[in-house]
Structure 1
Amino acid sequence: MSLSGALYNAFSGLKANSRAAGLVSTNISNATTEGYGRRTLGLAPGAVGTTGGVRITGTVRHSDPVLTGDRMMSDATLAHATVGFEFASRIEDLVGDSGTPGSLTGRVNAFENALLTASSNPASTQRLELVANTADSLARALNGLSDEVQSARQTADNRIAAQVETLNSALSRLDSLNDNIVRAGSTGTDPTSFYDERQRVLDSIAEIVPLRVVERKKGDIAVFTRGGAVLLDGRPFEVGFEPNHAIGPGMTFANGDLSGLTLNGVPVDTQGMSMFAGGSLAAQFEIRDVDAVERQAQLDGIARDLIERLGPGGPDTTLAATDPGLFTDGGSAFVAADETGIAGRIEINALVAPDSGGAWRLRDGLGAATQGDVGDARLLQGVSEALSASTVPASGGLTAIARSFANHISEFASSAVGERVRAENAQTFVSIQNTALSEMELSKGVDTDQELQRLMQIEQHYSANAKVMSTVDSLLERLMSI
């Protein structure tokens, strides 16, 4: 080999070593950066007609698209499970621990105990007032639960709107990155930073909806949901949603009161959510249109059962058929056709409300014109018996099994606990799975120990090439001195 050939080979090696050292430095500095793909230098033998050496073919970005896809799918599944767990936990907290003061079951127990205490001494105004206070507390507890359920629906609607906005913004950003990658490929510039940014954008929306990414020949990608909806393919598709700023118990998607999704203006089936199923977006729709609606129906069934047990035809014989009973629909008599939302409207009859001065009517009857025998406990005992009686509820929101009122409350509380436990178990399982996939993905990323070893090898190669150049320089000096 000629001296010039040796010099060329050593120079090409030094140039490659310099670039490789820079990539190692970049890898180490970005070892914990999300979306970053480890870089190595692409090398090939010297071009035909040269004496050898190496030539740089570009920067190679290492990634495992299958593992990354599985991890993104797991991100969506975890987000879906987390949303469900948070809602179930919220309902359980509002219902409270069974039997504890302030819990729903605790308020029912307090009301029943107050009735028993008052029936043992019906002449005591203080004991009658305690009945009024505990009845009012029970009605307010149902009001609060109903309000919180509707608040959860409103929160879900707001989050849907925010996630749709995030999704559209990310799709627009992915479209720009596709253009940058294609342009970099045609001009010969390094596109790896665009790949990293594109992965970060994909990760930012992977929790919202499960994604399927297809890479095209020029390096650009098409993005679909796992259910088959096109999000990006040559151009971004626009996801549409109209938020509602005041959701009430009777408002549902099925009757057209609430908005669903559209894709480029075409309505998407958000009831089945087949095209957008699996992520946090679908979970919010489930809360707004299914889970919270079912909880509201159960609460309405409980409120209706309480009203009807103590209304006309019940223990108080002073009530006419159209009179409001001990519990009312916002002060009026309850009508079965208006059951939806009754849990938010139920309140104690104003005639016996706390501090109204009419507590004696709990003993003598709501329709009584004057006070009767102060020792007569029959009505108080009748109210207690009506609550304890096992009857089949008229509401479709409750299980059609004969139960006492307290048992209906217990069933509701137990279902809240059971749903939270089920949601927590599901969330724990997918969380463990997600952590395992994330760790597997990280294991294929930057290993700083390996990078440092690689840097030592580069240093050795650099020294060897530098020694060749130094030797060639000495030989050329000797030739020039002859």
Structure 2
Amino acid sequence: MSITSALNSAMSGLRAASRASELVSNNIANASTPGYARRTLSISSNMTGDFGGVRINGVQRHVDAQIISDRRLSGSEFGYRSATTNYMNRIEDLVGTPDKQGSLSARLADFENSLITAGSRPDAIERLSAAALGASDLAKSINTVADGIQDARSDADRNIASQVTRLNDTLKAVEAVNVKITAANARSVDVSGLQDQRQLLIDEISEMVPVRVVDRDHGTVALYSTGGSILLEGRASEIGFEPANLVTPYMSVGDGTLSGLTINGYQVNTSSASGRLHGGTLGAQFEIRDELAPEAQTQIDALARDLIERFESASVDPSLNPGDPGLFTDEGAALDATQELGLANRLELNALVDPNQGGESWRMRDGLGASTPGNAGDATLLNALADALTDQRVPNSGAFGPAAFSATDLTASLSSQLGSDRLREDQMLSFASTQFYELTQLELAGGVDTDVELQNLMVIEQAYAANARVIETVDQMFDTLMRI
């Protein structure tokens, strides 16, 4: 080997060692940085004529694409289950459990007790007033649950709007990074940093919408939802949504009063069964707004209807004429079975007995149609009202099945349904959380190991010192030759 060849080999070795030490330093510094992938230097021998040395082929970014894909999908599921579980907890808290003060069951029990108490002393005006106020509190509790369901729908609608904006912005950002990577590859510039940035952006997208990443030419990628929609293919798709901000029981996607999703101007399905973007936090908000909350509204409306029907019969209150509203009303009117949607929001105590509306509580004893107070000692109507609550009857609406229920049993059934649904969501959330955690740990295990990197740095330092020693020896040889 000639002196020139030795010097060339040593110089190329120094350059490679310097670049490798830089990568190791970056690996150690970014060991905890989200999205960062471990880098190593790709080198090979360089034989050009009589000259040898080290050729730097480029920087290798070490990732396991399959683990990342699985982790993203599990993250989408975790986000989806977190959103639906939070909703279930919210609605269950509104209805309450039978042992909870202020729950629907507790309000109904208080009303029933007040009727029994008033029946034991029908001449006591304060007991009649307590019964009327108990009925009013029960109606208001049902109103609160129904309003809370619509608040959940409104919140979901607003969340959809914010997530669609974020999704569009992130897709545009991935498109921009793709362009930068293409340009950098054309100039043979290291693109590892841009790939890290793109990975974080795709992670953000996958939280909202589960995606599949497809490699394209020049280091770019395309993104497809697992439902089959194109999110990014060269250019980012435009996701469209028009927020309603305030959602009422009477609004739905089907009648055009609520917005669905569009992709590049084309309407797409948003249902939980076959939605094109279903599975992440965005799909969860659509499911809450368009499926879960309307189902809860149907059940609470059925409960309100059952309550009205129990007291609207002349067999309970003989003073009522056909078509007259009973103790509980639809905003003051008698029940119209064809207008059941939103009934729980409109439920009111009949103003004739409501002290808060100028009514007379003695009508609890003498009948809603009575013009003057009757026999103060007659508890017949009060007992009939109490019996109406315990009467076993099959609900005319709702998903309660064909069994007959008392008012207490029907309320308990609703509470039980909500508790069962919430428990099922909790179990699914627990599974999704565990899966997401395990895949995240598996991904991190393939990341930067600082102990290994420090060992690599020691090897690199030895290689650097060896090449430096060759250069020093060549320098000494030139000095010796110059002195001859």
TM over 0.5, shorter chain = yes
2:352 aligned with 1:351: yes
Q: Deviation at 1:92?
A: 1.1
CA distance in 1, matches of 2:39, 2:314: 81
CA distance in 1, matches of 2:407, 2:111: 12
Provide Cα deviations, 1:153-203, integer angstroms capped at 9, x if missing partner. Answer: 111111111111111111111111111111111111111111011001001
Given that 1:273 and 1:282 are in contact with CA atoms closer than 8 Å, whether structure 2 keeps it comes out as: no
Partner of 2:451: 449
Q: How does 1:37-436 map to 2 (within 5 A)?
A: 37-271=37-271, 272-354=273-355, 356=358, 358-436=360-438
Q: Deviation at 1:51?
A: 2.1
CA distance in 2, matches of 1:406, 1:254: 34
Given that 1:99 and 1:109 are in contact with CA atoms closer than 8 Å, whether structure 2 keeps it comes out as: no
Q: Deviation at 1:76?
A: 0.5
Greater alpha carbon shift after TM alignment, 49-58 vs 101-110: 49-58
CA distance in 2, matches of 1:245, 1:214: 36
SS of residue in 2 equivalent to 1:69: helix
What letter is aligned with 1:353? D
SS of residue in 2 equivalent to 1:105: helix
SS of residue in 2 equivalent to 1:232: strand
Partner of 1:23: 23
Partner of 2:466: 464
What letter is aligned with 2:309? E
Provide Cα deviations, 1:283-330, integer angstroms capped at 9, x if missing partner. Answer: 111111111001000000000110110013341110111211111111
CA distance in 1, matches of 2:408, 2:36: 58
What letter is aligned with 2:128? L
Pick closer, same or farther for the CA change 1:357–1:7 going to 2, 3 Å. Answer: same
What letter is aligned with 2:338? A
Q: Deviation at 1:50?
A: 4.6
CA distance in 2, matches of 1:129, 1:100: 24
Q: TM-score, normalised to structure 1's length?
A: 0.98
CA distance in 1, matches of 2:63, 2:48: 32
What letter is aligned with 2:89? S
What letter is aligned with 1:336? A
Provide Cα deviations, 1:65-90, integer angstroms capped at 9, x if missing partner. Answer: 11101100111011111111000000
| Number of matched pairs | 482
Q: Deviation at 1:335?
A: 1.2
CA distance in 1, matches of 2:355, 2:20: 82
Q: Deviation at 1:273?
A: 3.7
**Percent sequence identity over aligned pairs:** 46
SS of residue in 2 equivalent to 1:207: helix
CA distance in 2, matches of 1:257, 1:12: 70
RMSD: 1.2
Greater alpha carbon shift after TM alignment, 239-248 vs 213-222: 239-248
Q: Deviation at 1:401?
A: 2.0
CA distance in 2, matches of 1:96, 1:405: 16
CA distance in 2, matches of 1:50, 1:58: 24
CA distance in 1, matches of 2:318, 2:220: 78
Pick closer, same or farther for the CA change 1:398–1:253 going to 2, 3 Å. Answer: farther
SS of residue in 1 equivalent to 2:462: helix
What letter is aligned with 1:301? A
Provide Cα deviations, 1:451-480, integer angstroms capped at 9, x if missing partner. Answer: 111111111111111111111111221121
Given that 2:400 and 2:413 are in contact with CA atoms closer than 8 Å, whether structure 1 keeps it comes out as: no
SS of residue in 2 equivalent to 1:188: coil
SS of residue in 2 equivalent to 1:278: coil
Partner of 2:476: 474
Pick closer, same or farther for the CA change 1:233–1:357 going to 2, 3 Å. Answer: closer
Given that 1:312 and 1:323 are in contact with CA atoms closer than 8 Å, whether structure 2 keeps it comes out as: no
What letter is aligned with 1:94? L
CA distance in 1, matches of 2:37, 2:25: 13
What letter is aligned with 1:20? A
Pick closer, same or farther for the CA change 1:50–1:66 going to 2, 3 Å. Answer: farther
Point out 4+ residue stretches in structure 1 off by more than 4 angstroms.
none
Given that 2:213 and 2:222 are in contact with CA atoms closer than 8 Å, whether structure 1 keeps it comes out as: yes
SS of residue in 2 equivalent to 1:218: helix
Stretches of structure 2 lacking an aligned partner (at least 5 in a row): none
Given that 1:209 and 1:225 are in contact with CA atoms closer than 8 Å, whether structure 2 keeps it comes out as: yes
What letter is aligned with 1:446? V
CA distance in 2, matches of 1:49, 1:194: 37
Q: Deviation at 1:364?
A: 0.3
Q: Deviation at 1:247?
A: 1.2
CA distance in 2, matches of 1:459, 1:238: 51
Greater alpha carbon shift after TM alignment, 237-246 vs 104-113: 237-246
CA distance in 1, matches of 2:201, 2:234: 17
CA distance in 2, matches of 1:232, 1:47: 44
Given that 1:136 and 1:354 are in contact with CA atoms closer than 8 Å, whether structure 2 keeps it comes out as: no
Greater alpha carbon shift after TM alignment, 308-317 vs 392-401: 392-401
Pick closer, same or farther for the CA change 1:314–1:218 going to 2, 3 Å. Answer: farther
What letter is aligned with 1:415? Q
Q: Deviation at 1:357?
A: 5.6
What letter is aligned with 1:295? A
Pick closer, same or farther for the CA change 1:415–1:7 going to 2, 3 Å. Answer: same
What letter is aligned with 2:302? G
Stretches of structure 1 lacking an aligned partner (at least 5 in a row): none
Q: Deviation at 1:336?
A: 1.2
What letter is aligned with 1:455? L
Greater alpha carbon shift after TM alignment, 471-480 vs 394-403: 394-403
Given that 1:294 and 1:397 are in contact with CA atoms closer than 8 Å, whether structure 2 keeps it comes out as: no
Q: TM-score, normalised to structure 2's length?
A: 0.97
Q: Deviation at 1:258?
A: 1.2
CA distance in 1, matches of 2:446, 2:314: 73
CA distance in 2, matches of 1:368, 1:398: 36
SS of residue in 1 equivalent to 2:329: strand
What letter is aligned with 1:235? R
CA distance in 1, matches of 2:100, 2:226: 45
